[in-house]
A and B are shown apart, each in its own frame.
Chain A
Amino acid sequence: GAGVSQTPSNKVTEKGKYVELRCDPISGHTALYWYRQSLGQGPEFLIYFQGTGAADDSGLPNDRFFAVRPEGSVSTLKIQRTERGDSAVYLCASSLLAASTDTQYFGPGTRLTVL
């Protein structure tokens, strides 16, 4: 079946601009996660949704970052007033449930470059 998909695959923007990154999880998966991977590092947690609500947003670095999942499926990560330090690969993952034993399946990521 179809895996997690993310669009766009690459996004280049200028400092100060607004960007939206989209994630389409595996059908039927109730939990959705956003991670950020900087060069040479492992992914770092940003936010987690259970259904439509953000159950844990403790990883969002500041209030320029926001994410929604209005219908409990597709999610959008929104970054306002982008900064060069926001450049990274943004990864989305989904799991069937939110149990800590569940496997998270990752999408291919969106590479964000802020000039």
Chain B
Amino acid sequence: AQSVAQPEDQVNVAEGNPLTVKCTYSVSGNPYLFWYVQYPNRGLQFLLKYITGDNLVKGSYGFEAEFNKSQTSFHLKKPSALVSDSALYFCAVRDRNTDKLIFGTGTRLQVFP
């Protein structure tokens, strides 16, 4: 069965510092991986996805994620955090046989000024 784990409920980082939000996955075939962000009282906004090719994927708002097949990870990163990045981040996975996204439980990112 497919699954996603986000081991950290919350990540705290100072503004200007690099940030990492962790995600590991389990699928039977090749994974398709997604990151979404959720601001209070709003829906999920798409950040980036990995389908195939270059393991480093660049997305919206300066975010990037690195696909690591051997570690089954897809960590979200940003070189310099902004206070406005504070939100709830969700990792999700699909494979070619699945029409639905399987989401992790989310990680709350808090960026302090």
Whether chain B is bound by chain A comes out as yes
- Chain A contacts to B: CB under 8 angstroms: 4, 6, 31, 33, 35, 40-45, 48, 55-56, 59, 91, 93, 98, 100-101, 103-109
Report the contact-size class of chain B (Cβ under 8 Å from the partner): 20 to 34
Query: With the chains together, A69 CA to B51 CA distance in Å?
Result: 29
Query: With the chains together, A48 CA to B32 CA distance in Å?
Result: 18
Of all chain A residues, the one with the shortest Cβ separation from B51 is A101
Of all chain A residues, the one with the shortest Cβ separation from B42 is A108
Of all chain A residues, the one with the shortest Cβ separation from B9 is A40
| Count of CB-CB pairs between chains A and B under 8 Å | 63
- A4 close to B106 (CB less than 8 A): no
Q: Is B54 an interface residue (CB 8 A)?
A: no
| Chain A to chain B contacts (Cβ below 8 Å), 20 pairs | A4-B43, A33-B100, A41-B105, A41-B106, A42-B4, A42-B92, A45-B100, A48-B99, A48-B100, A91-B43, A91-B44, A93-B44, A100-B99, A101-B49, A103-B46, A103-B49, A106-B36, A106-B45, A106-B46, A108-B43
Given contact pairs A42-B103, A42-B105, a sample of 14 additional A-B residue pairs in the complex whose CB atoms are under 8 Å apart: A4-B43, A6-B43, A31-B99, A43-B101, A44-B103, A45-B100, A45-B102, A56-B100, A93-B44, A101-B32, A103-B46, A104-B46, A106-B45, A109-B43
